[in-house]
Amino acid sequence: MSDRRHEEIEGSRSLSDKLKTKGRGRREGLRRLAAAAPAPRGRRNDLLPHLELTYLPVDQIRPAPKKIRKLDPAHVRARRSASSTWPM
């Protein structure tokens, strides 16, 4: 019988009141979880250095002293033939 009374009370509340109650309960639950969680640790395995942006004049920019990548001759031929077929 108490369940029926609870349903009658719940049925008389407006939708916005129900949503407010649901939101409050959800936020309170999240607040409790955050309080019980351990403090966040620093990022592990972050192997990248802190990068710094530097602006240089164009005349100071130089190519790398050694080749970074080796070019595959088949790939170079394919790119050259593809670029020669494009209309200019």
- 53-88 tens-digit pLDDT: 999 999 999 888 887 788 888 998 888 888 777 666
pLDDT confidence of residue 46? 65
End-to-end Cα, the chain, rounded Å: 85
Whether pTM > 0.75 for this model: the answer is no
Tell me the CA distances in angstroms from 15 to 2, 38, 39, 71, 79, one per residue in order. 22, 36, 37, 66, 64
Distance between CA atoms of residues 76 and 70, nearest Å: 11
Can you read off the two tokens belonging to residue 27? 């936020």
